[in-house]
Amino acid sequence: MKFLQSLLLLQLQVWVSRAGVALTLSTMSEGNTSAVANISDTITQTASCSNTLPAGSHTVDVKSGGHKRSFDVYIPAGISDNERRPVIFWWHGYGGSPAKLVDIAHPNEMADKYRYILVYPKGTGIISGFNGAGCCPLIFADDVAFFRTITAWTGNNMCGDTSKVYSAGFSNGGFMSNRIACEASDIVKGIAVHSGSMKKNWDCAPTKGIPALLIHGDADPTVPYFGNGDWKSFAELAQKWSDLNQCGPEENGHPGYTSEKTECIRYDSCARDNVPFEFCTVQGLAHAWSGSGDFQIDATSYIFEFFSALIME
């Protein structure tokens, strides 16, 4: 049975209780802002490195595609010079900001545990967002080039390990992580997409298998779980990544994380480059971050665990 058929059967059984959009409006204080730097997108990594910023949160300005762009970076304590650490991008939602994403997902706490460098790109447009894989309107920036610019910055100005770069995103940020995997598979080593999707006819052609973790609430009215005229349903998105990674028939998968309100299906080793693939449905979750403790998957912890398993390989 194909993914689409099995998920449609699952969708008939799940409890759909509510709809709405969860918004968090608190802000995060920003640290030092660097001078605008012209960064080459060419990534050359040497064993030696030095950290030009101290531990904590900072805002950095760079030139990307001839335009000034900004991102926040979180550097956990205890990272030494000449010790390169993995880099995880966290892309905010449409109309969001790094501060809002930090407030709902709390990734910095996990970064302290794992000692990873976190990057929070800032969107563009009247309504701040990213030019993801089919979302969102009036965003024209080349955010794939921005991703490459920031990656180069982490290797040149920090002890970021540019051979271990990962991308996670919520909503519009999830669309962006999908696009990164489609168009920058030479850099990104894995993605996590929470409440995001992909345009139905989006041309996605990664040059290798991409480890992917998908999480979506079945009561999401904003990026609909069942899709709409423009965007893939969650079942269709799961089928897309299964096909791209050559995961094979459903029998190759097995239950992953399971709780009263969450069901995940995992493929440990898909045929294309032996990459893992996992997708999780959260029953009753609207357009919000999963992790309330009400039998939902703690998405932040699970994302870090997913990436950490890749890093340790």
Q: What are phi and psi of 217, to 5 degrees?
A: -85, 140
> What pLDDT is attached to residue 152?
96
Question: 259 CB contacts (<8 Å, ≥6 apart)?
Answer: 295, 296, 297
* pLDDT category of residue 272 using cuts at 50, 70 and 90: very high
> What pLDDT is attached to residue 294?
65
| Number of C-beta neighbours around residue 40 at 10 A | 11
* pLDDT category of residue 25 using cuts at 50, 70 and 90: very low
> What pLDDT is attached to residue 41?
58
Give the alpha-carbon dihedral of 92, 96, 99, 103, to 10 degrees: -80
Best CATH choice for the domain 3-9+27-39+51-311 from the list 3.40.50.1820, 3.20.20.140, 1.10.10.60, 2.40.128.520 = 3.40.50.1820
Asked if 194 contacts 289 with a C-beta cutoff of 8 angstroms, the reply is yes
Per mean pLDDT, which range of 32-36, 100-104, 250-254 is the poorest? Answer: 32-36
Asked if 158 contacts 37 with a C-beta cutoff of 8 angstroms, the reply is no
Question: Each residue of 151-203: pLDDT tens digit?
Answer: 999 999 999 999 999 999 999 999 999 999 999 999 999 999 999 999 999 99
pTM: 0.88
CA distance 79 to 161: 12
> What pLDDT is attached to residue 142?
97
Give the mean pLDDT of the chain: 88
> What pLDDT is attached to residue 44?
64
Question: 288 CB contacts (<8 Å, ≥6 apart)?
Answer: 21, 22, 104, 195, 217
Is 140 a residue whose pLDDT tops 50?
Answer: yes
Q: Determine the distance from the C-alpha atom of residue 30 to the mean position of all C-alpha atoms in its chain, rounded to a whole number.
A: 22
